[in-house]
Structure 1
Amino acid sequence: WLPLVCINPPDDLYYLCFLPSGDGGARAGARLIPVLPEGLAGQAGADAGAGADAGAGAGADAGTAQNPFTIPPGFDLSPFLAQGPTFRFTMPTDAVTPRKGGPPYGLAVVFNIACAGRVVTLERSPEGGPQQLPIACVDERGERVPPSDYVFAVSRVYAYDDRTNLNPKVLGAKVDGVPVPITGAAPVELERCTESSKDKCKEIKIDIDIAPESWESDPNNVGPDGQIGREQIWVTYYSDIGDFDNDARLLFDTKSGRVDKSEVVFRAPTTPMNGTIWAVIHDNRAGAEWVVFPVRVK
């Protein structure tokens, strides 16, 4: 995770977080708040960690972070990056601002990168356009790796003065109707496929159980009669082994609620191996939760 949080970039465009102030009259003005360690970001104030569960309306301005484009090119950021699958920060108390055509809100943007080498700063190119990144993933020789060998990601957290949004709550998972642990303590054991064609492999049905209270009211979903509707909740599956026939399923409809037959079909590989299945649950107001369970194909 980059050691900064970008607050209210112009037009909510994440790449304007890195635009140098006054760059040829271009749109700038996003506020960068440093996240520890102080060695890179400068003087940091209150807690500024990260995660999708960052609360609105808590915390204070922790100063101004240094734009990565202003750090000398080739600087190794790796020792200063927060490691792990989550990132926590405190939303500034003044993040919520008036918006045209809608209710006031605040937007915080955080950035992460999956890189097997080192993460270094880049020099801004005058011909590169506004969407160029200030960092790159390099190998042990210092050479940039191709885009297929690393991932740069953006996470957005919205804050409102009078709205809340809980992340979906996962109660459990089922494989072929049998509950399986979602703590990752023990692998889910599956039989390998013995067919010559993948389409003939056994259909293994996987489903996620979501708590009913996760289906919250959505203030943006207002019907013709003025009634406030509900959220939409869906799940997307990923795996580093085997195949899904369809990797996404709707779990809760905005009108009818819990959807029946929300299973996805997974087909195991033809050789024994260990792997992982990820299930990422979303609602349409940027709430998210995920479960990870190991898989052992026998």
Structure 2
Amino acid sequence: MRSTRAMSGAGGAVKRAGAGRGRRWRRALLATLALGAVAAPAISSGCVAGFDPPSLVDGLRVFAVVADRPYANPGEQVTFQIHYQDGLGGAEGGTRPVNVYWFGGCENPVGDDYYGCYPQFAELAAQLDGWEPGDPLPELDGVPPGFGDTYTVTIGDDILVGRQPPVSGPAYGSAYVFFVACTGTLGAVEDQGTGRAGTFPVGCFDADGRRLGPDSFVAGYTQVYVFGDGRVNANPEMQGLTLDGAPLPEDFADIPTVPPCPVGKEERREVGCSAEDPFVECPSYDLDALLDASVAEPDPDAQQQALKEIVWIDYFADLGDLDRGIKLVSDASKGYLGDHAVNWIPPAEPGIATLTAVLRDTRGGSSVVQRRVRVK
């Protein structure tokens, strides 16, 4: 099973389930979090906090890292593709260069925790002193790093050697791959953490040596599980997105045009029960994912009854607002739920809005679809 997570302070990714008893506990926690988010819209009528919702992409955001093999076997190659968007941009509305770096080579760390890889990573980070873009990157435990939107690693042949099975389920091993999305230059960071994990040893710096924040730097990891019984898991699939029931085209030349909303951003964030509800004052559109009802696979750990993996969608927009950012697609016991649409209202100013949907399951599978809408 695979999980993707951004490190503390980096933002933008989701932790998925682990293995054995802990894995089932995390699955239940994810279900609770998903249902809680479904019940709590990002913008409600009137009595809202004056801040941007998490579904608004207003900085560098990593949506997901999708593996072609959400479950792997010893000796197999796994290719990862990162999906991100820079909602901040550069001067005069331009785009900033975003560099993505990958570091593999950490398998079965102490405690099976990602921060068990930090001692190896700290040795790598120390070699970044004086490093410039275009220079070769140091290796993590002899495994070559990567650069770009995709990265391939080979799972060790001996990843299951000596691994004992938990109380229930097969023995498992795990391989960690770290990714760094940076709009500046990589550099080492001293450990200033006070918790168990400590500080991620790599940071992102601008041309003047200033450390960049989470709107310009996202660091995280993806965890690949290898099970002794050879189980597999497919990524949940989306066929596309619809706006008010009409499929949104992939071709930019064919994207639809909608009018702007008369309620400005500051008015939408006003605090107080007398504030306007922008979803009443503005024209709203149903944003939905095209899915098959069989999107959820059976849960191989279910013993007492037949259960499905939990599947949900995270929605994002870089312009306009969504009434909520997450919808449950398939429940463990109820199965497929037909209503997984959210409402989107356009911004007050003209522009090209990018709408993103990330379909995830609790066993590490994911898929991403992006479409655009012209506001004019």
TM-score, normalised to structure 1's length? Answer: 0.74
**Structure 2 residue aligned with 1:134, among 201, 204, 207?**
201
- Contact map agreement 1:19 1:130 (CA 8 A) in 2: no
Question: Which structure is higher in RCO with an 8 Å CA cutoff and minimum separation 6?
Answer: 2
SS in 2 for 1:141: coil
1:24 aligns with none
Pair 1:208 & 2:289 matched: yes
| Structure 2 residue 280 is matched with structure 1 residue 180 | no
Pairing partner for 1:154 from 217, 221, 225: 221
1:9 corresponds in structure 2 to 109
Cα separation, partners in 2 of 1:214 and 1:182, compared to 1, 3 Å: farther
Partner residue of 2:348 out of 270, 275, 285: 270
Unaligned runs of 5+ in 1: 21-31, 33-65
Code of the aligned partner of 2:255: P
- 1:104-123 mapped onto 2 (5 Å cutoff): 104-123=171-190
TM-score (norm 2): 0.60
Deviation of 1:213 (Å): 4.0
> For residue 217 of structure 1, what is the amino acid of its counterpart?
P
Structure-2 change in CA distance of 1:130 and 1:178 (3 Å) = closer
Give 1:181 deviation, angstroms. 2.7
Greater percentage in helix: 2
Deviation digits for residues 188-232 of structure 1, max 9, x if unmatched?
433211346523212211111223443211112333xxx331111
CA deviations 1:23-52 (Å, max 9, x no partner) are xxxxxxxxx8xxxxxxxxxxxxxxxxxxxx
CA contact (8 A) 1:73 1:122 kept: no
Q: Conserved in 2, the CA contact under 8 Å of 1:18 and 1:69?
A: no
Matched-pair contact (CA < 8 Å) for 1:250–1:259: yes
Does residue 68 (structure 1) correspond to residue 116 (structure 2)? The answer is no
Matched, 1:221 2:302: yes
The percent identity for this pair of structures is 29
Q: Measured at CA, do residues 83 and 266 of structure 1 come closer, stay the same or move farther in structure 2, by a change above 3 Å?
A: farther
Aligned positions of 1:254-269 closer than 5 A: 254-269=332-347
CA deviation string 1:153-176 (max 9, x = no partner): 221222223211000011222111
Distance in 2, Cα, partners of 1:206 & 1:136 = 36
Distance 1:256 1:72, change over 3 A: closer
CA separation of 1:247 and 1:215: change in aligned 2, threshold 3 A? same
Structure 2: any 5+ residue segments left out of the alignment?
A: 1-100, 138-144, 265-275
Q: 1:128 and 1:212 mapped to 2: Cα distance?
A: 43
More strand per residue:
1
- 1:86 aligns with 150
Q: CA deviation at 1:135?
A: 0.9
Check whether the contact 1:73–1:123 (CA below 8 A) recurs between aligned residues: no
Aligned length: 251
